[in-house]
Structure 1
Amino acid sequence: METSKRKDIDVRQNSPKAWWLAARPKTLSGAAVPVMIGIALAIADSGLYEAYSFNWTAAILCAAFAMIMQIDANFINDFFDYVKGTDDTETRLGPRRACAQGWVSIDRMKHAIALTTCIACLVGLPLVFYGGLEMILIGIVCVVFCFLYTTSLSYMGLGDVLVLVFFGIVPVCTTYYIQFHTLTWTVVVASVACGTVIDALLLVNNFRDRDTDSDAGKRTIVVRLGATTALRLYLATGWTAYAMGLLFWAEGHPLAFVLPTIYVVLHTFTYLKIKHINRGKALNLCLGETARNIFIYGLTVSVGLMI
């Protein structure tokens, strides 16, 4: 057995600890929050549809599919960034990656990608019984773009669009649709707000890596717009999503707008910290704070909708 290339973390190659690090458990909040909000919206509206009752089995399957696909995306990102050479251990500012550090061998990562993709498909397949054959198309699109994101689209600056679609519109709307076979404008607006909140995580990640991304030819939105504009965009994501919550109030759920005030205050403080730090590995602290803020947003909106 080989040990990791990194001196400060003792990780045996292909060990459970290595796979735990490769799965990046801290990123799972980004997968959980959209499903959480979709479930809360469905519970809040369950009295409006006499022909349907809320189905927890379908909801749990949605959550499981989202979580497994997030892990799959992390494996794919880890593998292809290593192959492309963008995970240079000498210049990397972000958290260390499994393949680049030698925690997971290349062959094992290939097998893991195939396995997690298959598991995600098997977990998602029963959703056909609840949401119809269209669930197959949604599943295929999720898998395809999971690969396209790392291999090409993120290099074209389309990562933020994909986050809005696949961490907002698709999971929130699908989770709700499976319950009642319909959508409302409130659900659509909530899905856009959710994707906007989660996009802040990608923005701070790309803000930290803007110099190395530019050198590698990775044209992220931060590289395209510049650091100052991108930082303002980070702040705008939180406040825009918060303002969208006024619709919840109009629909009879005032707490779904009031409680997320906690989120937008924390989001603003994180913005100020990013602005102050500006460059370097210290921005990883802001990455963690942004993930925390996203979870708080999902929790406060969900609780506000269900009360």
Structure 2
Amino acid sequence: MSEPNGRDHHPGPEAGDDFPSGADAPAPGSDAAAGGATVAQWISGARPRTWPNAFAPVIAGSAVAAFAGEFVWWKALLAALVAWSFIIGVNYANDYSDGIRGTDDDRVGPLRLTGSGIARPAAVKRAAFLALGTGAVAGIALSLTSAWWLIVIGALCIAAAWFYTGGDKPYGYRGLGEVAVFVFFGLVAVLGTEFVQTGSISWFALPVAIAVGSLSCTVNLVNNLRDIPSDAETGKITLAVRLGDPRTRGLCALLGIFIPPLMTAILAFATPWALLGFLALPVAWSANAPVRTRAMGADLVPAIGKSGMAMLAWAVATAAGLVIAALLA
């Protein structure tokens, strides 16, 4: 089946396929030909710059639980393991699915294990399943100590991770990636972290979840802004491709610079200590600089990592305020 742009579309690897279409197979006997990417390459393929998307919501959600008077440290650690495993899993899943489709062939940015041919698709797929499975085990352990229906939420998270770019009709190719990021790495991660520790969800958790979700979306959106040319060419219709370059840059500013301070102001009704969240604004402003100055391609790569740091800075600053308020109560 061909894409409108004429490129071959591969919904999955055919039996016997070792490397994606368009990638040069490594020389026989090489480490890559044996599926032997180095540890450093596997770590790079896990996209460490996106890891703040995992830890920020857990930090923020745990601080909300502390402010509510019910912080449970070991549940917070399990929640962090769930989130970290899931984001690594989704990164490997994206690497695998985009790689076998050939949409990573001409892309700038971090190393693509599948698209570059340094690791066999089957090995990357196994890594994705291993990471998602680790998160599932930790999530089941949490659900057994809180509510059984969290297993259903976890299953939805895993499905969202895989079908972002996997399957015959990946929703990430339809401009819905940022919606999923907001829901799962914002609302679900923050509210879920509070719930497993307190058994309830407080009103002040919602602005925290909205801010974290917005900042998490910014990381994804800047990544897709960078990839507009290659994604448009290969038929990957992300939200950035749909909006176009100028409006995508405007949305990055809205999500990364304006919404978090607004949520901080709302949180101040719960405690004035939440205003510490404003300390993260300079970090967010700096992270958005390449976007504002119309940087393109590889010049946007630093903005991805800095956007993740802006999210982590907001989560840590806000968490500090909530914990201080809890200690002084």
Q: Same fold (TM over 0.5)?
A: yes
Partner amino acid, structure 2, of 1:29:
P
Whether 1:297 and 2:319 are equivalent positions in the alignment is no
**How far apart are 1:3 and its partner, in Å?**
4.9
Partner of 1:248: 267
Partner of 1:86: 103
Whether 1:101 and 2:116 are equivalent positions in the alignment is yes
**How far apart are 1:271 and its partner, in Å?**
2.4
For 2:289 and 2:308, the matched residues in 1 are separated by 16
Partner amino acid, structure 1, of 2:77:
I
Whether 1:13 and 2:36 are equivalent positions in the alignment is yes
**How far apart are 1:280 and its partner, in Å?**
2.1
For 1:111 and 1:251, the matched residues in 2 are separated by 45
Contact 1:40 1:306 in 2 (8 A): yes
**The residue matched to 2:88 in structure 1 has which SS?**
helix
- 1:239-293 CA-to-partner distances (Å, cap 9, x unmatched) read 11211111221112x2322x23232223223323223243121111211221221
- 1:50-92 CA-to-partner distances (Å, cap 9, x unmatched) read xxx432221111111111111111110110010111110xx21
Partner of 1:117: 132
Partner of 1:8: none
- 1:159-218 CA-to-partner distances (Å, cap 9, x unmatched) read 110111011000100111112221122112211111011111111111111111112222
For 1:269 and 1:117, the matched residues in 2 are separated by 33
Higher helix share: 1
Alignment of 1:114-263 (within 5 A): 114-151=129-166, 152-238=170-256, 239-252=258-271, 254-257=272-275, 259-263=276-280
Contact 2:100 2:114 in 1 (8 A): no
Contact 1:14 1:108 in 2 (8 A): no
Contact 1:31 1:70 in 2 (8 A): yes
For 1:262 and 1:103, the matched residues in 2 are separated by 42
For 1:130 and 1:85, the matched residues in 2 are separated by 43
Task: Name the TM-score, length of structure 1 as normaliser.
Answer: 0.89
Partner of 1:32: 55
Partner amino acid, structure 2, of 1:86:
T
Partner of 2:82: 65
**How far apart are 1:16 and its partner, in Å?**
2.2
Structure 1: 5+ residue stretches without partners: 6-11, 47-52
Higher alpha-carbon deviation: 282-291 or 163-172? 282-291
Higher alpha-carbon deviation: 183-192 or 71-80? 183-192
Contact 1:4 1:101 in 2 (8 A): no
Q: Using the aligned pairs only, state the percent identity.
A: 29
Given the superposition, is the C-alpha separation of residues 74 and 278 from structure 1 closer, same or farther in structure 2, using an over 3 Å criterion? same
What is the RMSD computed on CA atoms of the aligned residues? 1.8
Structure 2: 5+ residue stretches without partners: 1-28, 325-329
**The residue matched to 2:185 in structure 1 has which SS?**
helix
* Corresponding residue pairs, total: 291
Partner amino acid, structure 1, of 2:151:
I
Partner of 2:287: 270
For 1:200 and 1:269, the matched residues in 2 are separated by 13
**The residue matched to 1:21 in structure 2 has which SS?**
helix
Contact 1:93 1:209 in 2 (8 A): yes
Task: Name the TM-score, length of structure 2 as normaliser.
Answer: 0.83
After the TM superposition, which parts of structure 1 deviate over 4 Å for at least 4 consecutive aligned residues? none
Contact 2:45 2:92 in 1 (8 A): yes
Partner amino acid, structure 2, of 1:80:
S
Partner amino acid, structure 2, of 1:182:
S
Partner of 2:18: none
**How far apart are 1:45 and its partner, in Å?**
1.1
